[in-house]
Amino acid sequence: MPVQFGISLLPFTSSSDLQGQFIPWHRHYVTLYTNAPRDECAYDGPVIYWHWATDIDSGLPMNEWSVFDPAAGFGGDGVPGTYTLPPDPDNVGATASPSPEMLPPNLVYKGCVQDGPFANLTLHLGPGRLVTTRCLVRWFHSLWRRQLDGTAVGKVLASTSFEEFRVAIDQGKSELHGGGHPIIGGEIDRMWWLWQQADPERRLYEVSGPSSTNPNVADQTTLDNELRYPGSGDSRKIRDIIDTSLEPSCFTYDPL
Protein backbone atom coordinates (compact mmCIF):
# COMPACT_ATOMS: atom_id res chain seq x y z
CA MET A 1 0.00 0.00 0.00
CA PRO A 2 2.64 2.69 0.85
CA VAL A 3 4.21 2.48 -2.63
CA GLN A 4 1.19 3.81 -4.48
CA PHE A 5 0.99 6.82 -2.15
CA GLY A 6 4.68 7.54 -2.55
CA ILE A 7 4.17 7.57 -6.31
CA SER A 8 1.19 9.88 -5.91
CA LEU A 9 3.21 12.34 -3.85
CA LEU A 10 6.40 12.38 -5.94
CA PRO A 11 5.21 14.72 -8.73
CA PHE A 12 4.29 17.31 -6.12
CA THR A 13 7.33 17.24 -3.87
CA SER A 14 9.15 19.98 -5.74
CA SER A 15 6.37 21.90 -7.51
CA SER A 16 3.21 22.37 -5.48
CA ASP A 17 4.26 23.44 -1.99
CA LEU A 18 3.78 27.13 -2.81
CA GLN A 19 0.57 26.66 -4.78
CA GLY A 20 -2.82 27.51 -3.35
CA GLN A 21 -4.17 24.01 -4.00
CA PHE A 22 -1.49 22.23 -1.99
CA ILE A 23 -3.29 22.31 1.37
CA PRO A 24 -6.57 21.07 -0.19
CA TRP A 25 -4.54 18.43 -2.07
CA HIS A 26 -3.28 17.15 1.26
CA ARG A 27 -6.83 16.82 2.58
CA HIS A 28 -7.96 14.27 0.04
CA TYR A 29 -4.57 12.56 0.19
CA VAL A 30 -5.23 11.93 3.90
CA THR A 31 -8.69 10.58 2.99
CA LEU A 32 -7.25 8.18 0.41
CA TYR A 33 -4.50 7.04 2.75
CA THR A 34 -7.03 6.42 5.53
CA ASN A 35 -9.52 4.56 3.33
CA ALA A 36 -6.94 2.21 1.82
CA PRO A 37 -6.36 0.12 4.99
CA ARG A 38 -10.11 0.12 5.62
CA ASP A 39 -10.73 -1.31 2.16
CA GLU A 40 -7.71 -3.60 2.00
CA CYS A 41 -6.99 -4.60 5.61
CA ALA A 42 -10.33 -4.28 7.47
CA TYR A 43 -8.97 -1.35 9.49
CA ASP A 44 -11.78 0.26 11.50
CA GLY A 45 -9.86 2.91 13.42
CA PRO A 46 -9.87 6.72 13.13
CA VAL A 47 -8.06 9.07 10.78
CA ILE A 48 -4.49 9.17 12.03
CA TYR A 49 -2.66 12.39 12.87
CA TRP A 50 0.12 13.41 15.22
CA HIS A 51 -0.44 16.47 17.40
CA TRP A 52 3.31 17.08 17.47
CA ALA A 53 3.12 20.24 19.63
CA THR A 54 2.19 18.04 22.60
CA ASP A 55 5.48 16.15 22.32
CA ILE A 56 7.59 19.21 21.56
CA ASP A 57 6.12 21.23 24.43
CA SER A 58 6.83 18.34 26.81
CA GLY A 59 10.53 19.19 26.69
CA LEU A 60 11.48 15.53 26.32
CA PRO A 61 14.10 14.48 23.77
CA MET A 62 12.68 12.93 20.60
CA ASN A 63 13.83 9.42 21.46
CA GLU A 64 11.52 9.53 24.49
CA TRP A 65 8.39 10.59 22.61
CA SER A 66 5.75 7.87 22.60
CA VAL A 67 5.19 8.24 18.84
CA PHE A 68 8.69 6.82 18.30
CA ASP A 69 8.33 3.98 20.77
CA PRO A 70 9.48 0.73 19.09
CA ALA A 71 6.53 -1.26 20.48
CA ALA A 72 3.62 1.21 20.41
CA GLY A 73 4.91 3.78 17.91
CA PHE A 74 6.89 4.13 14.69
CA GLY A 75 10.28 3.02 15.94
CA GLY A 76 13.31 5.07 16.80
CA ASP A 77 16.18 6.96 15.21
CA GLY A 78 18.36 5.80 12.34
CA VAL A 79 21.49 3.87 13.27
CA PRO A 80 24.71 5.55 12.08
CA GLY A 81 26.74 3.63 9.55
CA THR A 82 23.85 1.53 8.22
CA TYR A 83 23.03 3.57 5.09
CA THR A 84 25.07 5.02 2.24
CA LEU A 85 23.67 7.59 -0.17
CA PRO A 86 23.53 6.36 -3.79
CA PRO A 87 25.31 8.34 -6.52
CA ASP A 88 23.20 11.31 -7.54
CA PRO A 89 25.26 13.56 -9.84
CA ASP A 90 22.19 15.34 -11.25
CA ASN A 91 20.55 15.77 -7.83
CA VAL A 92 17.47 13.82 -8.95
CA GLY A 93 17.03 12.70 -5.37
CA ALA A 94 17.55 16.22 -3.99
CA THR A 95 20.36 14.75 -1.92
CA ALA A 96 22.48 17.89 -2.33
CA SER A 97 21.57 19.92 0.77
CA PRO A 98 20.91 23.65 0.08
CA SER A 99 22.73 24.35 3.37
CA PRO A 100 25.34 21.59 3.75
CA GLU A 101 26.95 23.38 6.68
CA MET A 102 23.62 23.26 8.54
CA LEU A 103 22.25 20.01 7.09
CA PRO A 104 25.25 17.82 6.24
CA PRO A 105 24.17 14.72 4.24
CA ASN A 106 25.84 12.35 6.71
CA LEU A 107 23.40 13.59 9.35
CA VAL A 108 20.30 14.04 7.18
CA TYR A 109 20.73 10.46 5.94
CA LYS A 110 21.92 9.20 9.31
CA GLY A 111 21.02 5.53 9.02
CA CYS A 112 18.40 2.79 8.80
CA VAL A 113 15.60 2.45 11.32
CA GLN A 114 16.31 -0.87 13.03
CA ASP A 115 13.52 -1.20 15.58
CA GLY A 116 9.74 -0.90 15.58
CA PRO A 117 7.34 -1.77 12.75
CA PHE A 118 9.59 -0.39 9.99
CA ALA A 119 12.74 -2.30 10.92
CA ASN A 120 14.07 -4.23 7.92
CA LEU A 121 11.58 -2.50 5.61
CA THR A 122 12.76 -2.47 1.97
CA LEU A 123 11.79 0.55 -0.14
CA HIS A 124 12.30 1.18 -3.84
CA LEU A 125 11.62 4.91 -4.09
CA GLY A 126 13.89 7.66 -2.88
CA PRO A 127 15.70 9.61 -1.88
CA GLY A 128 13.56 12.05 -3.84
CA ARG A 129 12.78 10.72 -7.33
CA LEU A 130 15.55 8.14 -7.38
CA VAL A 131 14.59 4.51 -7.93
CA THR A 132 16.71 2.50 -5.49
CA THR A 133 16.59 -0.39 -3.06
CA ARG A 134 17.00 0.92 0.45
CA CYS A 135 15.87 0.92 4.06
CA LEU A 136 13.77 3.54 5.84
CA VAL A 137 16.24 6.29 6.78
CA ARG A 138 15.66 8.58 9.74
CA TRP A 139 17.48 11.35 11.59
CA PHE A 140 16.28 12.80 14.90
CA HIS A 141 17.16 16.47 15.28
CA SER A 142 15.82 19.61 16.94
CA LEU A 143 16.22 22.15 14.12
CA TRP A 144 12.47 22.59 13.59
CA ARG A 145 11.25 22.37 17.17
CA ARG A 146 10.42 26.07 17.49
CA GLN A 147 8.54 26.00 14.18
CA LEU A 148 6.33 23.17 15.41
CA ASP A 149 5.65 24.00 19.06
CA GLY A 150 2.34 25.15 20.53
CA THR A 151 3.23 28.83 20.13
CA ALA A 152 3.91 28.41 16.40
CA VAL A 153 0.70 26.43 15.89
CA GLY A 154 -1.27 29.11 17.74
CA LYS A 155 0.12 31.84 15.46
CA VAL A 156 -0.91 29.95 12.36
CA LEU A 157 -4.41 29.31 13.69
CA ALA A 158 -4.74 33.05 14.40
CA SER A 159 -4.54 33.77 10.66
CA THR A 160 -7.49 35.85 9.49
CA SER A 161 -7.60 34.63 5.88
CA PHE A 162 -6.76 31.47 3.97
CA GLU A 163 -4.00 33.37 2.19
CA GLU A 164 -2.39 34.26 5.50
CA PHE A 165 -2.89 30.69 6.75
CA ARG A 166 -1.33 28.99 3.71
CA VAL A 167 1.60 31.43 3.59
CA ALA A 168 2.28 30.80 7.26
CA ILE A 169 2.50 27.07 6.61
CA ASP A 170 4.22 27.04 3.22
CA GLN A 171 6.40 30.08 2.84
CA GLY A 172 8.34 30.41 6.05
CA LYS A 173 6.47 32.54 8.60
CA SER A 174 6.45 29.53 10.87
CA GLU A 175 7.90 26.90 8.49
CA LEU A 176 5.26 24.48 9.76
CA HIS A 177 5.02 22.69 6.45
CA GLY A 178 8.78 22.38 6.17
CA GLY A 179 8.93 20.95 9.64
CA GLY A 180 5.78 18.86 9.46
CA HIS A 181 6.09 17.33 6.03
CA PRO A 182 8.75 14.77 6.99
CA ILE A 183 6.51 13.40 9.73
CA ILE A 184 2.72 13.01 9.51
CA GLY A 185 0.66 15.22 7.19
CA GLY A 186 -2.63 14.59 8.99
CA GLU A 187 -1.88 17.30 11.54
CA ILE A 188 -1.50 19.89 8.78
CA ASP A 189 -4.99 19.00 7.56
CA ARG A 190 -6.29 19.04 11.12
CA MET A 191 -4.91 22.54 11.58
CA TRP A 192 -6.73 23.66 8.43
CA TRP A 193 -9.93 22.05 9.76
CA LEU A 194 -9.54 23.86 13.10
CA TRP A 195 -8.98 27.14 11.27
CA GLN A 196 -12.07 26.54 9.13
CA GLN A 197 -14.23 25.64 12.13
CA ALA A 198 -13.36 28.87 13.93
CA ASP A 199 -15.52 30.73 11.36
CA PRO A 200 -17.09 28.14 9.04
CA GLU A 201 -19.51 30.53 7.37
CA ARG A 202 -16.62 32.57 5.98
CA ARG A 203 -13.73 30.12 5.94
CA LEU A 204 -15.08 26.72 4.92
CA TYR A 205 -14.94 27.38 1.17
CA GLU A 206 -12.17 29.99 1.18
CA VAL A 207 -9.11 29.24 -1.00
CA SER A 208 -6.47 31.44 -2.61
CA GLY A 209 -2.96 31.50 -3.96
CA PRO A 210 -1.28 30.89 -7.30
CA SER A 211 -2.30 27.78 -9.22
CA SER A 212 1.21 27.36 -10.63
CA THR A 213 4.80 27.94 -9.54
CA ASN A 214 5.48 29.30 -13.04
CA PRO A 215 5.83 33.08 -12.60
CA ASN A 216 4.42 33.59 -16.09
CA VAL A 217 1.10 31.97 -15.13
CA ALA A 218 -1.20 34.42 -13.39
CA ASP A 219 -4.12 32.04 -12.68
CA GLN A 220 -5.28 31.90 -9.08
CA THR A 221 -6.52 28.84 -7.21
CA THR A 222 -10.31 28.46 -7.15
CA LEU A 223 -12.76 25.85 -5.91
CA ASP A 224 -12.80 24.40 -9.44
CA ASN A 225 -9.10 23.58 -9.52
CA GLU A 226 -8.53 19.87 -10.11
CA LEU A 227 -6.45 17.88 -7.65
CA ARG A 228 -4.61 14.89 -9.12
CA TYR A 229 -3.61 11.68 -7.29
CA PRO A 230 -1.73 9.51 -9.81
CA GLY A 231 -1.42 5.95 -8.61
CA SER A 232 -3.74 6.27 -5.61
CA GLY A 233 -7.07 7.82 -6.58
CA ASP A 234 -9.25 9.72 -9.03
CA SER A 235 -8.88 13.43 -9.59
CA ARG A 236 -11.17 15.72 -7.56
CA LYS A 237 -12.12 19.36 -7.62
CA ILE A 238 -11.30 21.34 -4.49
CA ARG A 239 -14.98 22.11 -3.88
CA ASP A 240 -15.71 18.38 -3.71
CA ILE A 241 -13.26 17.63 -0.87
CA ILE A 242 -13.11 20.86 1.09
CA ASP A 243 -15.83 19.95 3.65
CA THR A 244 -14.65 16.94 5.65
CA SER A 245 -18.16 16.22 6.93
CA LEU A 246 -19.32 15.27 3.42
CA GLU A 247 -18.40 12.51 0.98
CA PRO A 248 -15.75 11.44 0.15
CA SER A 249 -14.16 12.41 3.49
CA CYS A 250 -16.88 11.90 6.12
CA PHE A 251 -14.75 12.68 9.17
CA THR A 252 -14.06 15.41 11.70
CA TYR A 253 -11.04 16.02 13.90
CA ASP A 254 -10.71 16.34 17.65
CA PRO A 255 -10.63 19.98 18.74
CA LEU A 256 -7.62 21.42 20.53
**Percentage, residues of the chain above pLDDT 70:** 81
**pTM (predicted TM-score):** 0.84
Q: Answer whether residue 150 is part of any domain.
A: yes
Name the percent of the chain lying above pLDDT 90.
42
| Residue 211 domain flag | yes
Among candidate residues 121, 139, 157, the one where a domain is terminated: 139
Overall domain count for the chain = 2
Residue 3 lies inside a defined structural domain of this protein: no
For residues 161 and 249, membership in a common domain is answered with: yes
Per-residue pLDDT tens over the stretch 163-173: 999 988 875 44
What is the model's pLDDT at position 181?
Answer: 47
Query: Does 125 fall in a domain?
Result: yes
DSSP the chain: -HHHHHHHHGGGTTTSTTSTTHHHHHHHHHHHHHHHHHHHH----PPP---HHHHHHTT--GGGSGGG-TTTSS--PEEETS--PPP-TT-TT--S-SSTTTS-HHHHT-EEE-SSTTTT--EEE-STT-EEEE--EE----TTHHHHSHHHHHHHHT-SSHHHHHHHHHSSSS-HHHHHTTS-THHHHHHHHHHHHTSHHHHTT---SBS-S-TT--PBP-TTPEEEETTTEEEEEHHHHS-TTSTTT-------
Q: 123 and 195 share a domain? A: no
- Given a cut of 80, is residue 178 above it in pLDDT? no
7-27 pLDDT tens trace: 555 555 554 456 888 899 989
In this predicted structure, what is the pLDDT of residue 245?
A: 95
Assess whether 68 and 57 both reside in one domain: no
Co-location of 93 and 202 in the same domain: no
Looking at the predicted structure, is the pLDDT value of residue 193 above 50? yes
The pLDDT score that the predictor gives to residue 227 is: 92
> What Rg do the C-alpha atoms of the chain give, in angstroms?
18
* Residue that finishes a domain, picked among 139, 172, 199: 139
Q: Which residues contact 14 (CB under 8 A, 6 or more apart)?
A: 94
Question: How high is the pLDDT of residue 172?
Answer: 47
Do 172 and 183 sit in the same domain of this protein?
yes
Specify if 123 maps to a domain.
Answer: yes
Do 89 and 207 have their domain in common?
Answer: no
Mean predicted lDDT score pLDDT of the chain: 83
Q: Which domain holds residue 125?
A: 63-139
Say if 1 falls within a structural domain: no
pLDDT score at 170: 72
Say if residue 55 is in the same domain as residue 32. yes
Q: Which of 46-50, 57-61, 67-71 has the lowest mean pLDDT?
A: 46-50
Burial class (CB in 10 A: 0-12, 13-18, 19+), 25: buried
Q: Are 96 and 147 within one domain?
A: no
**156 and 225 in one domain?**
yes
Same domain, 15 and 111: no
Domain boundary among 139, 172, 203: 139
pLDDT in tens, 80-127: 999 998 988 888 777 766 566 666 766 778 999 999 999 989 998 888
Based on the fold, state whether residues 124 and 226 are members of the same structural domain. no
- The verdict on residue 2 lying in a domain is no
172 found inside a domain: yes
155 and 86 fall within a common domain: no
CATH number at residue 196: 1.10.1280.10
